[in-house]
Chain A
Amino acid sequence: MSMLEIDDLHVVVDGKEILKGITLSIPAGEVHAVMGPNGSGKATLSYTLAGRAGYEVTRGRILYRGEDLTALKPEERAAKGMFLALQYPVEIPGVVTLNFLKTALNAQRRARGEPEVDALRTLKLVREKATALKIGEDMLKRPLNAGFSGGEKKRLEILQMALFEPKLAILDETDSGLDIDALKLVADGVNMLRAPDRAMLVITHYQRLLSHIVPDRVHVLAKGRIVKSGGADLALELEQRGYEQVAAA
């Protein structure tokens, strides 16, 4: 079964068409990568999938587990099991990280008609997942992302992914701002979450993340269209030959 089915997707931002007919299908259990140069529409694709206001779908559709997402709000998509790890997680001073995790977890559970979890149970759940990502309790007590290093922010994104257990995870430029050790830590976290009932879309500019998170398929995005698709080797080819040559071939 297809977890995500994107069909001829056109998206307009500020009156300008950024995505010009994207077609893409990700089956459950697979990890797909979308690679593209700056300005190719990568961020637009991830924001559109998550339902951000201002990203207008003018043609085509997005099917998530067979359901058309286009009219759903971001919070509704999240409750249905979609997760977007942001390139730049937002700093929110005044909201304690652990409280945020509990609020988000319970908002999703409430929307699904599941019972809420109390603070103690949340803490236990978070602790289980946090250790592998080397996230200490002190980090959870700090305000959300405020003053976190690049690595800390990305680890917290992956912690949320582990906590919310999404069916579809979209990782937007998760490698940006990470040194080699942090990259490996984050990639290991993602790999642990690979599962037969979960699909992932890894959006990235560089090949290096894909050495750690090896994708089943690679798609090349250029000027708002998928211009080439292939196996994991395609990422290496891009790294060696550059986007222009591969896109033209």
Chain B
Amino acid sequence: MTALALKLNPSADLFQEDFAANSGDLPGAGLAWLDERREKAMDAYVMTGVPNRRVEAWKFTDLASELEDRLESTAAGSAPYIDEKVFGVAEGARVVLVNGILWDVTQAEGLEIVDLGKIDAKTPDWVCANLGLLASGPDQPMGAASLALMRSGVAVRVKASGVLNLDFVNPPLARDAVSHTRILIVVEQGASLKLLQSHSGAGTHQSFANIGIEFVLKAGAQLEHVVLQAEAATAIHVASIGAVVARDAQYRALYAATGARLSRLDVNIHLDGPGAHASINNVAVPGYGIADTTTVMDHAKPHTTSRQLFKSVVGGRGRSVSQGRVLVREGAVKSDSHQLFKALLMSPRAEADAKPELEIFADDVVCGHGTAIGALDEDALFYLRARGIPEAEARGLLVRAFLEDAISGIAGEAVHDALWRKLDVALAAFDGAET
């Protein structure tokens, strides 16, 4: 099967060649534990290579055909334009990565931050104990590639509570380029972190940001995770998230995607102890490209709960892909999961693909799902207009109303308002992108 996949998918060579030629020069090369994990990840990646539509989990998103061109790795050194704090949150630590390479770290009390680009024998044990164990298997091939080829990144440990602004800034590149970046976050027992992650970009060259993110949530830990993907229109963006959520720990996420020619959020959550909970709200507003969020919610232990809400507003020739696989393993009784997929199509050529999937191997569980895809409600539009609200404003009001429940209720007002500012810009651009 491996050989066949390789033949079908010659672009797999792109990253294999990179690994063959450069693995000895990658950060931490020579550390036995890391070499071994990188090798293993490369093997996992090679099983599919860059995924195309023949890979079931990628049937709606053909990354291979988008990555036909050869891409060189980015290097540090280009001057970043640093956005104001994207979410308007002044507190906490800040990590800035420029074209996938760590640029700047502002420390804050309560957070331990390690530069993965300088990983060596002195790297703390908690990094060695965790790095590369998640988002690196054959089920997340691009995550595996991001570990095998990791050039930069950070590891963060939270012992009590903290806020981390994690800003990926992608200034214009001089040529097409790829970056492989890893993020590891360990939230210790009973600790909590608010993680505000942004991706912003500009330029006309093809950039491919390949990011692997690991979350280790110990018992009772809490992670609030907000992602705003506002990449340049030529960018390709793949982020693979792997999380282990221990007993009574909670992962609460809001993912928003407004940019990129192709973006894929590949999420794998492992609910690993009674009382573990994950909630994901996903908001995608593609006006031209593909915005794909694919999740696997793995209820591995009894009494675990998950909630997922996918909302897309699609304009122009944009396409949203929302896939949610819920797995309830044998013995994971009293698991409780729900997922809801809703999409609004704002133009005749807009497309939304939604695919809920359930695999249940335990009794006494509650698993619900629902899907609704359609245009704006004409009755509602007429109602608002008949009360004097002009058509464009009425449409905007209804779109806002549609998305609001997915955006409210996480990370506070400043974040809520910052997200809306970006979403408003993306939605306003729909009219120009029509047909």
Contact = CB atoms under 8 A, between A and B. Distances in A.
B426 to A, nearest CB: 18
Given A90-B379, A94-B400, A78 B386 contact: yes
Interface stretch (A102-110, A208-216, A241-249): A102-110
A160 B387 contact: yes
Interface stretch (B151-159, B401-409, B410-418): B401-409
Contacts of A104: 384, 387-389
User: Which of A53, A93, A104 has most B Cβ within 10 Å?
Assistant: A104
Contacts of A18: none
A248 to B, nearest CB: 35
B382 A93 contact: no
User: Which of B379, B382, B385, B386 has most A Cβ within 10 Å?
Assistant: B386
A53 B390 contact: no
Interface in B377-435: 377-380, 382-391, 393-394, 397-398, 400-405
B163 to A, nearest CB: 28
B380 A92 contact: yes
Size class of the B contact interface (CB-based, 8 Å): 20 to 34
Interface in A74-114: 74-75, 77-79, 84, 86, 88-90, 92-95, 100, 103-105, 107-108, 111
A75 B389 contact: yes
A78 B401 contact: no
A107 B401 contact: no
Contact of B386 (A50, A100, A103, A143): A50
A207 to B, nearest CB: 27
Interface string B113-135: 00000000000000000000000
Given A52-B382, A74-B382, A103 B389 contact: yes
A111 B389 CA distance: 10
Interface string A209-247: 000000000000000000000000000000000000000
A79 B404 contact: no
B393 A107 contact: yes
Contacts of A73: 385, 390-391
A79 B383 contact: no
A52 B391 CA distance: 12
B387 A78 contact: yes
Contacts of B405: 93-94
A126 to B, nearest CB: 14
Contact of B401 (A84, A86, A94, A105): A94
A64 interface: no
A24 to B, nearest CB: 20
B201 to A, nearest CB: 30
Nearest to A79: B388
Nearest to B403: A94
A92 B388 contact: no
A93 B311 CA distance: 15
Secondary structure at chain B's binding surface: helix, strand, loop or mixed?
A: helix
Contacts of A50: 382, 386
B385 A74 contact: yes
B342 to A, nearest CB: 12
B377 A90 contact: yes
Contacts of B387: 78, 100, 104, 107-108, 160, 164
A90 B401 contact: no
A90 B389 contact: no
Given A92-B401, A94-B400, A94-B402, A75 B391 contact: yes
Contacts of A90: 377, 379-380, 383
A50 B383 CA distance: 10
B388 A107 contact: yes
Contacts of A93: 401, 405
Contacts of A100: 384, 387, 397
B379 A75 contact: no
B393 A86 contact: no
Contacts of B397: 95, 100, 103
Interface in A36-69: 50-53
Interface string B368-382: 000000000111101
B389 A95 contact: no
A108 B401 contact: no
Interface string B79-105: 000000000000000000000000000
Contact of B388 (A52, A53, A108): A108
A164 B403 CA distance: 29
A75 B390 contact: yes
Contacts of A92: 380, 383-384, 398, 401
A85 B212 CA distance: 55
Given A86-B386, A94-B402, 11 more contacts: A52-B386, A53-B378, A53-B382, A74-B382, A74-B386, A78-B386, A92-B383, A92-B398, A100-B384, A143-B401, A164-B387
Interface of B: 377-380, 382-391, 393-394, 397-398, 400-405
Q: Which 9 A-B pairs have the closest CB atoms?
A: A94-B401, A78-B388, A108-B388, A74-B385, A104-B387, A90-B383, A94-B404, A107-B388, A74-B386
